[in-house]
Amino acid sequence: MSASTHSPVLKHHFGDLGQQHASERLGMWMFLATEVLFFAGLFGAYACYRLWYASEFEFASAFMNLKIASINTVLLVTSSLTMTLAIRAAKLGNKSGLYTHLLLTFALGTGFMVLKGFEYAHDFHESYLPGEGTFVHSNMQTEAVARGLDTGKVRLFLCFYYIMTGIHGIHIVIGLGCILWLVQQAYANKIPPENYSTVEVVSLYWHLVDAIWLFLMPLLYLAGAHLKVGPH
Amino acid sequence: MTTAVTTAGPKIAPVPPEPPPAEPNYLNVSYSLWSWLTTVDHKRIGLLYLISISVFFVAGGVAAGVVRLNLLSPDGAFVNEDTYNRAFTGHGVLMLFFFLIPAVPGVLGNFLIPMMIGAKDLAFPKLNLASWYVFMVGAGFGVWALLAGGIDTGWTLYPPYSSRSSTSNVIPGVFGVFISGFSSIMTGLNIMVTVHKMRAPGMTWGRLPLFVWSLYATSLIQLLGTPVVAITTVLLMVERVAGIGIFDPMIGGDPVLFQHLFWFYSHPAVYIMILPGMGVISEVLTCFSRKNIFGYHAVAWSSMGIAVVGFLLWAHHMFVAGISFYSALLFSFLSMLVAVPSAIKVFNWTGTLYRGSITFQAPMLFGLGFVVLFVIGGLTGLFLATLGTDIHLHDTYFVVAHFHFVMVGGMVLGYMAGIHFWWPKMFGVMYSDWWSRVAAAIIIVGFFLTFVPQFVLGYHGMPRRYPNYPAEFQVYNVMSTAGASILGLGYLLPAFYLPLSLVFGKKAGANPWSATGLEWVSPSPPPLFNFDEANMPVVVCGPYEYALGVDQLGRGLPPGPGLGEANDPASKSEAPAAPGPMKKETEVVG
């Protein structure tokens, strides 16, 4: 299995590292296209109902925790910066910088998930849940009825809220796993400067997950931010 | 019989000597089961797919047998209605998700794409192995659903029945579809990156074999369509588990939205199934008519045309589901539009056959069968794309017959053609020429007898998926079941003569069909990394230079199939291989 060995990181079936890196990058871009279409199904469905049930969706959105979501946005955008700095460190062969930036990214992503957990706990506590049995106990139900809104459609929004943030959260967790894998690879000396594209490929995925959050944020938290209802 | 017949035009290049057998080749390099289960060799992974999808094909065929036998009598011959529902759903789910979609990309695509473009492997060998495991895990869930009693929703899984009412095993079945979708995405992504980045020197886009073009178009659909059905199945599972979800009409959700999302994938998915078959046919028809393909660029770009337009016409499945008149009009128009690239292919294939030196080995018989059946299946598709006739024909046996003509008559025959064409390359042996021709004939005859009566049934109004029917339909149903029995017999034959050929078959040379592609340069079976590593291929010309009589390396071609003594694929004394004086006096001009 050993043929042309210009570099220990060159895989056997590639002619040179340039071809290998180009393939890895293209593969990740194509995977991102897949991811975009995956979320597009959700965004498309959201768009339909948002148009049909505009007032219910704005109303329900006003009850979402804008404060935590804003902090989370800052965390994720910052993590994209540290991820990019990690690429630069890898390219320069600065191993301690690579560790630092990867672990910083990991910490910021973990912070996002921890805050998200607190947010879910709060939502549960307030009974902001789509199931009818629990939802009737929430102040959202009372206020929706007072405003003459269809509570079913309010609960439809909550379905979207949990499914969209849940699937996004799963993507964050996968991203965190990939970052830990990069740390392990760096530790095993598998990321010499000429192989920095491994970091770049993971960063592409991480940026996409960030970008999706930047769409979720307005759809779920800002749609009703102008309404004077809910626990602001 | 002389070998100097005009298998090709003027000999402009000498025929290369037969390459020595590869030692070791990819088959005998190791024998342990473990070495197969951990292989990252694209050829071995192709064979893993071959074995697994063959099992699912048999299982799906058994389910079809239950359906057809039960329809022998107007009141159901031997199973109750509930079992009948589970049988046709099992048939649909197994055949579509676990046979047709992975068939050609998983088996032939994996095996051939790197060889055809002159690469040592696919771009991501480990991802390729992972795709097989993911497929098997998904299939495991599908099998679980079946063994636990099956699913009764039909393969289309429409809510609210699937999310609320059905008491069958929807969750494991849908989860199996969800999981196996990732395998499809992995294969598609791998093939696309490989075609972009791993082509041999000289292998320009305009010199790619048309099989590669069609697999590239297929991969594009897999990459962009499959994630949409993935999220749709997730939403369906959430709704079923949680009892509430976004398709739930009780809270203002819209079940028709599910249909939109489902068909956004599942309509392009029929092109995932048929495009690879079309790619096989382009290879087979050129080889067995000894002619350059007619209109290379038209055939190549029509694949991409089908892939792109195929994404824009999903709602023709919903003409009677209450969509607006104007969108129905638009989708009707777009559905007609996709017939254009399909017709371009058929006309170009016909142009390729015209005045060719045609011989009728099994791959060619399957290939010609494909063209005929695909034309019928495609044209009847236009009946269904027309708004007025669709109201009459929607959800009748006419639809069943239409898509079986395309999927079975088209894709399964294309797959059979491909397996028979590349079998000597995969295993280095020839199967029985006579039995393979008999099998092709039986399959085509059985197919006609099975599905032509269904057109009549549908036109007279028999709905699909119903276990009972009025007595006057019985004669057509009996004909159809009789045809299905013949078809089943035809499918059984390759299950005998192909494995037997591994033991008793005559050794095949590197290029037994005198074909032009790079995959025929290597000895059969190929070495571990496909080519002589010190001497990787450099491509000098297009993929179908039969008129010049050169392969893609610019070397001469050995005598053609059935025309030379040395390459006579007929084993022993069975039937004279040469199919008679097939216009051998005709000089082929490109």
- pLDDT (tens, 9 = 90+) of chain B, 590 residues, equals 334 444 444 567 889 888 999 889 999 999 999 999 999 999 999 999 999 999 999 999 999 999 999 999 999 888 999 999 999 999 999 999 999 999 999 999 999 999 999 999 999 999 999 999 999 999 999 999 999 989 999 999 999 999 988 888 999 999 999 999 999 999 999 999 999 999 999 999 999 999 999 999 999 999 999 999 999 999 999 999 998 899 999 999 999 999 999 999 999 999 999 999 999 999 999 999 999 999 999 999 999 999 999 999 999 999 999 899 999 999 999 999 999 999 999 999 999 999 999 999 999 999 999 999 999 999 999 999 999 999 999 999 999 999 999 999 999 999 999 999 999 999 999 999 999 999 999 999 999 999 999 999 999 999 999 999 999 999 999 999 999 999 999 999 999 999 999 999 999 999 999 999 999 999 999 999 999 888 899 999 999 999 999 999 999 999 876 654 444 444 333 444 444 444 444 444 43
Residues A177-193 have pLDDT tens digits of 999 999 999 999 999 99
The answer to whether the Cβ–Cβ distance between A38 and B227 falls below 8 Å is yes
Whole-number pLDDT of residue B563: 55
Greatest Cα pair distance in chain A: 75
How far apart, in whole angstroms, are the C-alpha atoms of residue A163 and residue B235?
8
> Which residues from A are below 8 Å from B253, CB to CB?
49, 156, 159
In a domain, A7, yes or no: no
**Three-class secondary structure of residue B8 per DSSP:** coil
- Domain spans of chain B? 33-520
Nearest C-alpha in B relative to A22: B197
Q: Is-contact B551 B517, C-beta < 8 A?
A: yes
What's the structural domain count of chain A? Answer: 1
The answer to whether the Cβ–Cβ distance between A38 and B198 falls below 8 Å is no
Q: How many residues does chain A have?
A: 232
Q: What are phi and psi of A231, to 5 degrees?
A: -85, 75
DSSP class of A14: S
Nearest by CB to residue A23, choosing from B193, B231, B243, is B193
Residue B17 CB neighbours (<10 A): 7
How far apart, in whole angstroms, are the C-alpha atoms of residue B268 and residue B263?
8
CATH topology assigned to domain B33-520: Cytochrome C Oxidase; Chain A (1.20.210)
Q: Which of A88, A50, A39 is nearest to A210 (CA)?
A: A39
Contact residues, chain B to chain A, C-beta under 8 Å: 119-121, 123-125, 127, 185, 189-190, 192-194, 196-198, 223-228, 230-232, 234-235, 238, 242-246, 248, 250-254, 257, 261, 264, 529, 533
* Residue B96 CB partners (closer than 8 Å, separation 6+): B155, B269, B273
The alpha carbon of residue B220 is apart from the nearest alpha carbon of chain A, in Å, by: 9
Q: Is the pTM of this model over 0.80?
A: yes
User: CB of A148 within 8 Å of any CB in chain B?
Assistant: no
DSSP class of B558: P
CATH number of the domain within which A143 lies: 1.20.120.80
Nearest C-alpha in B relative to A52: B252
Tell me the two tokens of residue B461.
Answer: 């109004």
User: CB of A1 within 8 Å of any CB in chain B?
Assistant: no
Chain A interface mutation, best of B238, B247, B251, B262, highest count of A Cβ atoms under 10 Å: B251
Nearest by CB to residue B123, choosing from A23, A33, A41, is A23
Chain B interface mutation, best of A12, A32, A159, highest count of B Cβ atoms under 10 Å: A159
Chain A interface mutation, best of B244, B258, B324, highest count of A Cβ atoms under 10 Å: B244
How far apart, in whole angstroms, are the C-alpha atoms of residue B247 and residue A74?
33
The mean predicted confidence, pLDDT, of chain A is 93
Residues A1-34 have pLDDT tens digits of 344 446 788 888 898 899 999 999 999 999 999 9
Q: Is-contact B178 B79, C-beta < 8 A?
A: no
- Between CA A215 and CA A225, with CA A221 as vertex, the angle to 5 degrees is 125
CB pairs under 8 A between A and B: 110
Q: Which of B327, B350, B397, B407 is nearest to B374 (CA)?
A: B407
In a domain, A164, yes or no: yes
Nearest by CB to residue B185, choosing from A23, A34, A132, is A34
Q: Which of B357, B514, B513, B428 is nearest to B15 (CA)?
A: B514
Residues A86-97 have pLDDT tens digits of 999 999 999 999
How far apart, in whole angstroms, are the C-alpha atoms of residue A120 and residue A128?
9
Whole-number pLDDT of residue A122: 94
Instruction: Say which residue the tokens 């797919």 belong to.
Output: B49
> Which residues from B are below 8 Å from A129, CB to CB?
none
> Which residues from B are below 8 Å from A48, CB to CB?
254, 257
CA separation, residue B264 to residues A15, B142, B269 (Å): 39, 22, 9
Q: Is-contact B78 B69, C-beta < 8 A?
A: yes
The boundaries of the domain holding residue A105 are 17-222
Tell me the two tokens of residue A15.
Answer: 């002619």
Whole-number pLDDT of residue B12: 78
Nearest by CB to residue B252, choosing from A35, A42, A152, is A152
How far apart, in whole angstroms, are the C-alpha atoms of residue A148 and residue A154?
12
Residue A184, burial from CB neighbour count under 10 angstroms (0-12, 13-18, 19+): exposed
Whole-number pLDDT of residue B577: 43
Average confidence (pLDDT) over A120-124: 95
User: CB of A150 within 8 Å of any CB in chain B?
Assistant: yes
CA separation, residue B131 to residues A25, B229, B440 (Å): 19, 18, 31
Instruction: Say which residue the tokens 């760096």 belong to.
Output: A186
The alpha carbon of residue B193 is apart from the nearest alpha carbon of chain A, in Å, by: 6
Nearest by CB to residue B223, choosing from A33, A132, A156, is A33
Complex ipTM tops 0.90 = yes
Q: Which of B579, B515, B482, B375 is nearest to B65 (CA)?
A: B482
> Which residues from A are below 8 Å from B223, CB to CB?
30, 33-34
How many Cα atoms are found within 13 Å in the side-chain-facing hemisphere of B426?
Answer: 25
- Between CA B45 and CA A20, with CA B186 as vertex, the angle to 5 degrees is 85
